[in-house]
Amino acid sequence: MAASPSSPEQNDFREYARRWLQENAPPPPPERLPMSPLEIMTVGQRNYLQDWQGQCHAAGLIGCDYPQSYGGGGHTNFQPIANQELGHARVPFMINIVGLSMAAPTILKHGSEEQKRRFIPGALSGGEIWCQGFSEPGAGSDMANQQTMAVAEGDNWIVNGHKVWTTLGHFARWMILIARTSRHHKYDGLTYFLAPIAGHPGVTVRPLVKMTGESGFNEVLFEDAVIPDSHRLDDIGKGWAVAMTTLTYERGAAESAGGTGGQSSDPAQGLIELARETQRNGLCAAADPVTRDALMQRVIAMEGLRQSARRARVPGLCDHPMRLPLQQKLLSSENHQANARLGVEIAGAASTLYKLDPNAPRQGYWPLSYMASYGNTIAAGTNEIQRNILGERVLGLAKSK
């Protein structure tokens, strides 16, 4: 979908991005890539993807709208164009998902000048991988229940605690971390840090294995780890507010700052093709009325998502400014789940096959994608929590806690 009326500069940029991507599409990866940045496991995958993000950044397709002094392109509204072209070109995704869509915009909003100059360029280029240390064993949906403690000692903070589900922690140079600096206030006792991870004394990263058999997230242990006060983001006790900025970007309520393009373009079309190729009881699955109805439900849902993104930019057609933006996370994750689930159903018996089985259709994509989809309905605030937020902030219903 085109951005609102394009300026000549934006049209030129789109031309440039399209041409650059045609001429610079990367060679095939040396080893199979996972479906998303959430399951990057090997150094080979990492190097390949890091190199690709670096090239895109150098070409001006990533960080377009950040100031040049922080490694950006200094433009306005170029990033959505670059994202669309990255999507159309079906090139690999950007590895530094936490850096691009969470750390960089949060630092831009809350960081000191020095912090912006130090941290944003590496997040944009992918030279420094970021991870997010919000969740703990006892602090999931109830995120303010943080138990990781940061205690001031001179110009440093001494950190002890246990983070879980830390995506990309195994490759991360930095972590956006919330920790407790006071036991007296649940919310006002939290402070936000930019914590060193890789090779840092007192920090241990251990991989956790997902239901798909893949890794990609971790637990991270802090044992008397030292973080200089210069790595504190915003004021002591402001951690909750800063974390809300991060979550807003994470949940896509604000325009995402960096490109995460590169995924295939139209899942509903993929399902129709699957149905055409699948024989069931001697008939083409695409001729079965129940399957056809289910396929059209998916087509309509996906088109609805696209048209709602368009409508969100027409204030006169939105009753409440957050009504559509706050639905984005819910709908994209649940559509992904429903699409994948229908793929499993259509593939039928063949969907029992794991990706390494030579007969697995599309290398086991549908069942794997279906299982992986729960990552998205749980992560970034579960969809139940997102429904609470919509019910409370948009409809004005009483808070459920």
Ligand X SMILES: Cc1cc2nc3c(=O)[nH]c(=O)nc-3n(C[C@H](O)[C@H](O)[C@H](O)COP(=O)(O)OP(=O)(O)OC[C@H]3O[C@@H](n4cnc5c(N)ncnc54)[C@H](O)[C@@H]3O)c2cc1C
Which residues carry out catalysis? 250
- Residue 248 CB-density burial (10 A; 0-12 exposed, 13-18 middle, 19+ buried): middle
3-state secondary structure of 227: strand
List residues binding ligand X (CB under 6 A): 38, 131-135, 140-141, 165-167, 217, 375, 378-379, 381-382, 384-385, 388, 400-401
- Does residue 156 interact with another protein by CB under 8 A? no
- Does residue 338 interact with another protein by CB under 8 A? no
Angle at the Cα of 271 (from 265 to 277), degrees rounded to 5? 125
Q: How many CA atoms lie within 13 A of 180 on its CB side?
A: 20
Q: Residue 141: which of another protein, ligand X, none does it interact with, CB under 5 to 8 A by kind?
A: ligand X
- Does residue 268 interact with another protein by CB under 8 A? yes
Rg (CA), the chain: 22
Residue list 207-226, contact with another protein (CB under 8 A) = none
Q: Residue 275: which of ligand X, another protein, none does it interact with, CB under 5 to 8 A by kind?
A: another protein
- Does residue 302 interact with another protein by CB under 8 A? yes
Binding another protein (rule: CB under 8 A), the pick from 55, 204, 248, 388 is: 388
- Does residue 83 interact with another protein by CB under 8 A? no
271, amino acid identity: L
Which residues are paired to 208 by β-bridges? 217
Q: Write 347-356 long-range contacts (CB < 8 A, 24+).
A: 347/274, 347/278, 348/278, 348/280, 348/285, 350/278
Instruction: Name the nearest CA neighbour of 45 among 56, 26, 58, 29.
Output: 29
From CA 353, how far away is CA 115, in angstroms rounded?
49
- We find the least distance from the C-beta atom of residue 180 to ligand X, in angstroms, to be 15
Binding range to another protein, per CB under 8 A, among 103-111, 185-193, 251-259, 320-328? 320-328
3-state secondary structure of 65: coil
Of the pair 264, 400, the CB lying nearest another protein is at 400
Of the pair 165, 365, the CB lying nearest ligand X is at 165
- Does residue 266 interact with another protein by CB under 8 A? yes
Is the distance from CB of 98 to CB of 105 less than 8 angstroms?
no
- Does residue 304 interact with another protein by CB under 8 A? yes
- We find the least distance from the C-beta atom of residue 307 to another protein, in angstroms, to be 4
Q: Residue 390: which of ligand X, another protein, none does it interact with, CB under 5 to 8 A by kind?
A: another protein
Instruction: Name the nearest CA neighbour of 129 among 177, 168, 165.
Output: 168
- Does residue 12 interact with another protein by CB under 8 A? no
Binding another protein (rule: CB under 8 A), the pick from 109, 210, 280, 292 is: 292
From CA 59, how far away is CA 61, in angstroms rounded?
6
Chain contacts with another protein (rule: CB under 8 A): 1-5, 266, 268-269, 272, 275-276, 286, 289, 292-293, 295-297, 299-308, 310-311, 313-314, 316-317, 319, 323-324, 327, 330-331, 384, 387-388, 390-392, 394-400
